Amino acid sequence: MTFTHLLSAGDLDRTDAIRILDTAEELLGLASRPIKKLPTLRGRTVVNLFFEDSTRTRISFEAAAKRLSADVINFSAKGSSVSKGESLKDTALTLQAMGADAVVIRHQHSGAPHRLANAKWTNGAVINAGDGTHEHPTQALLDAFTMRRHLGELEGKNITIVGDVLHSRVARSNALLLDTLGANVTLVAPPTLLPVGIEKWPVETSYDLDSSLEKADAVMMLRVQQERMNAAFFPSAREYSRRYGLDTPRLNRLPDHAIVMHPGPMNRGMEITADVADHVRSVIVEQVTNGVAVRMAVLYLLLGGAAGDSTTEEGTE
């Protein structure tokens, strides 16, 4: 592995990305075994440091670490000293003192994982589990993994990502990773929900969902993140879902092999209708299953071998 942290999907070159996906492919088989456990990370400590609410990412990382036999410490900002005003630095130093080998961090501010990794507050590997509106690399990896299982290698495939790109860390990580893997990404959103500087992303953009459906191999719907919206980005929820929501007529216009994805949590009736969310071509539940395998692959590749700074790693022989 050429990296010691996983902060951005853009840090992965093609070899690394493929290696993670291939490893995840092997680890997926574990879920169907009677004993879903590997001894590989025995004695390693993984801290889930969640400053922001999360269901699937946190339990997914927890399941992944536990299936690799790591010790898991869950930390959420609620009910911790963070609510007393403790800084990220002091929290990190505490975790370091407890000997965390990896820190999985979810933070409401973009760049927090980066700060944690580069400030040397912790020796452990830092894995970004979503920072503000910036990045969510493991989500992008599990999305790419899911696409690859359905569509084959992603080189030349057309992926359409629709919705609230402005507030979406998933969209950014996916755009970077899918570009690395050779896919063509189209972002579809109302002009108000495309971020400044989008022209520098390796993607095409469009304001019209209908025109990009026919050629799409996969459509990824993004959640409209109302909790991050401090202004009126579109006139009404109804108008948004009429222009940018995925409903059955639109689903029928997709190619027969195309899949429908959503990183969750969904606003049913907003960006995706309930019929489409539960349709056979929707792989939304499978994305969650694949998330565990992908996160196991990331944890294994970051922690499974000799670490770059092997100060605490030599205790086994």
Partner 1 sequence: MVASDDAPRADNSHAPARTVLDDKDISRALTRITHEILERNRDASDVVLLGIPTRGVHLARRIAKRMSEVEGRIITAGALDITMYRDDLRLKPARALEHTEIPDDIDGKIVVLVDDVLFSGRTIRAALDALNELGRPKAVQLAVLIDRGHRELPIRADFVGKNLPTSLVEKVKVALTESDERDAVDIQGGAA
Q: What residue ranges bind partner 1 (CB under 8 A)? A: 1, 19, 22-23, 26-27, 29, 33-35, 37-40, 68, 300-306, 313-314, 316-317
Q: Of 3 and 268, which CB lies nearer to partner 1 in the complex structure? A: 3
Q: Of 104 and 302, which CB lies nearer to partner 1 in the complex structure? A: 302
Look at the block and give the residue holding tokens 């965390």: 100
Q: Looking at the DSSP assignment, which residues form a beta bridge with residue 261?
A: 220
> Is there a contact between 49 and 91 (Cβ–Cβ < 8 Å)?
yes
Please tell me the distance from the alpha carbon of residue 61 to that of residue 21, in angstroms, as a whole number: 16
- Contacts from 190-194 at CB under 8 Å and sequence distance 24+? 190/233, 190/234, 190/240, 190/243, 190/244, 192/166, 192/233, 192/234, 193/163, 193/164, 193/165, 193/166, 193/167, 193/233, 193/234, 194/165, 194/166
Please tell me the distance from the alpha carbon of residue 65 to that of residue 136, in angstroms, as a whole number: 18
CB of 23 to partner 1, least distance (A): 5
Q: Of 99 and 304, which CB lies nearer to partner 1 in the complex structure? A: 304
197 annotated binding-site participant? no
CB of 70 to partner 1, least distance (A): 13
265 annotated binding-site participant? yes
CB of 71 to partner 1, least distance (A): 16
Please tell me the distance from the alpha carbon of residue 122 to that of residue 125, in angstroms, as a whole number: 8
136 annotated binding-site participant? yes
56 annotated binding-site participant? yes
Please tell me the distance from the alpha carbon of residue 85 to that of residue 214, in angstroms, as a whole number: 51
CB of 26 to partner 1, least distance (A): 4
- Give the number of other Cβ atoms within 10 Å of residue 229's Cβ: 15
Q: Of 40 and 80, which CB lies nearer to partner 1 in the complex structure? A: 40
CB of 213 to partner 1, least distance (A): 37
250 annotated binding-site participant? no
CB of 31 to partner 1, least distance (A): 13
169 annotated binding-site participant? yes
Please tell me the distance from the alpha carbon of residue 42 to that of residue 39, in angstroms, as a whole number: 6
- Give the number of other Cβ atoms within 10 Å of residue 303's Cβ: 22
End-to-end Cα separation, the chain, in angstroms: 23
66 annotated binding-site participant? no
Q: Of 69 and 108, which CB lies nearer to partner 1 in the complex structure? A: 69
Q: Of 11 and 313, which CB lies nearer to partner 1 in the complex structure? A: 313
Task: List residues forming the annotated binding site for carbamoyl phosphate.
Answer: 56-57, 106, 136, 139, 264-265
Task: List residues forming the annotated binding site.
Answer: 56-57, 84, 106, 136, 139, 169, 223, 264-265
Task: List residues forming the annotated binding site for L-aspartate.
Answer: 84, 169, 223
